[in-house]
Amino acid sequence: MSPQTDPNFWKNRRVCVTGGAGFLGSFVIEALKQRGASEVYVPTLEEYDLVQPADIQRMYDTARPDIVIHLAALAGGIGANRARPADFFYINLMMGVQLMHEAWKRGVGKFVAIGTVCAYPKFTPIPFREETLWDGYPEETNAPYGLAKKMLLVQAQAYREQYGFNAIYLLPVNLYGPRDNFDLKTSHVIPALIRKYIEAQARGDKEVVLWGDGSPTREFLYAGDAADGILTAAEFYNGSEPVNLGSGQEISIKDLSEMIARLTGFEGKLVWDTSYPNGQPRRALDTSRAANYFGWRAQTSFEEGLKQTIAWYRKTVGSK
């Protein structure tokens, strides 16, 4: 748990967490319990289609929240974004815009909107600072997704200005951890690599083929740390400016691939298939605003987080 928390903040507050049944959501729900939140409502996909206004209204009728944490998103890696750009745009935009509008109409006390690092321009200077968010177009493969989520920032600022509505906007970097999505068609790079290496090991393969050339850099945040950052912001941050949530550590995909190979024990050759796209050339965040505005920093070291993720996969998925 974050060293900074207000023990009374969550008492008697009703919290609605969209996407609470998902990967990041599972960590947010755990962290809410640790912080003393007793009334937490998680709308499920089976019960609610949060693109439909009637379902959103029905959800709010049931949850009657004081705080909304909007984590729900259609998300995925480069392959998924390229295959379904219209879905990634429409579903994310319509969910977010309508959820926030209805929250304002109902007098919800606070709306915590979760953006994405994909909203940043393709050639943002490193490290990404929040004030550069509008300095160019996002990387093409995930622009529809990034821009749909970026509209939540515009909406949060507009509703604060016109209505005094307390909506905040957070930008987590790429997340990883136990319970991540390990489906090779839709997963992000860390779970994909873990699965590829462990399966290659089991088959006795001498090599693993990887996308691109390994040159892009990324920053990763342990999902437990992201949940901690989101809840710390919910407690202490009431401003209009977007805030990055990251670890502050940049690593190349090549180095990451070698590190995960070492931690999984895969000793074969890594072969780079350069016919596949690299995605954004570099990605690393300036995380000073979170530290300055609400005293938050990531706690989990990268190697420790990877070890926990690999151990979870071996125990839960790899044994099936």
The span from the first CA to the last CA of the chain, in angstroms, equals 32
As given in the structure block, the two tokens for residue 159 are 């509703």
Q: What is the pLDDT of residue 320?
A: 56
Distance CA(64)–CA(103), nearest Å, equals 10
Q: What is the pLDDT of residue 319?
A: 55
Phi and psi (nearest 5°) for 220? Answer: -130, 145
Helices (H), strands (E): how many in the chain? 10, 12
Active-site residue, selected from the candidate residues 60, 120, 145, 176: 145
Q: What is the pLDDT of residue 2?
A: 47
pTM: 0.93
Distance CA(256)–CA(214), nearest Å, equals 9
As given in the structure block, the two tokens for residue 199 are 């399966």
Tell me the residue type at 221: L
Distance CA(264)–CA(224), nearest Å, equals 21
CA–CA distances in Å: residue 312 to residues 45, 176, 181, 249 = 25, 12, 12, 23
Query: E strand or H helix at 168, and its extent?
Result: strand 167-172
Distance CA(251)–CA(219), nearest Å, equals 6
| Contact (CB, 8 A) for 305 and 147 | no
The total of other beta-carbon atoms located within 10 Å of residue 214's CB is 17
What strands, in cross-sheet order, belong to the sheet with 167-172? Answer: 39-41, 14-18, 67-70, 110-114, 167-172, 243-245
Residue listed under structure tokens 């295959």: 83
| Residue 2: Cβ-neighbour burial (10 angstroms; 0-12, 13-18, 19+) | buried
Alpha-carbon torsion (23, 217, 117, 221), positive or negative:
positive
Residue listed under structure tokens 């977007």: 242
Q: Is 145 known to be catalytic?
A: yes
Contacts of 234 (CB under 8 A, 6+ apart): 9, 67, 69, 110, 112, 168
Domains of the chain: which residue ranges?
Answer: 14-179+219-250+280-300
As given in the structure block, the two tokens for residue 219 are 């920053």
Give the count of alpha carbons within 13 A of 6, CB side only: 14
Contacts of 204 (CB under 8 A, 6+ apart): none
Largest CA distance in the chain: 62
SS (H, E, C) 69-133: EECCCCCCCHHHHHHCHHHHHHHHHHHHHHHHHHHHHCCCCEEEEECCHHHCECCCCCCECHHHC
Q: List the chain pLDDT tens, one digit each, 320 residues.
A: 445 788 799 999 999 999 999 999 999 999 999 999 999 999 999 999 999 999 999 999 999 999 999 999 987 777 778 889 999 999 999 999 999 999 999 999 999 999 999 899 988 999 999 999 999 999 898 899 999 999 999 999 999 999 999 999 999 999 999 999 998 887 889 999 999 999 999 999 999 999 899 999 999 999 999 999 999 999 999 999 999 999 999 999 999 999 999 999 999 999 999 998 887 788 899 999 999 999 999 999 999 999 999 999 999 986 55
The total of other beta-carbon atoms located within 10 Å of residue 205's CB is 15
Alpha-carbon torsion (101, 156, 128, 24), positive or negative:
negative
Q: Which CATH class is domain 14-179+219-250+280-300?
A: alpha beta
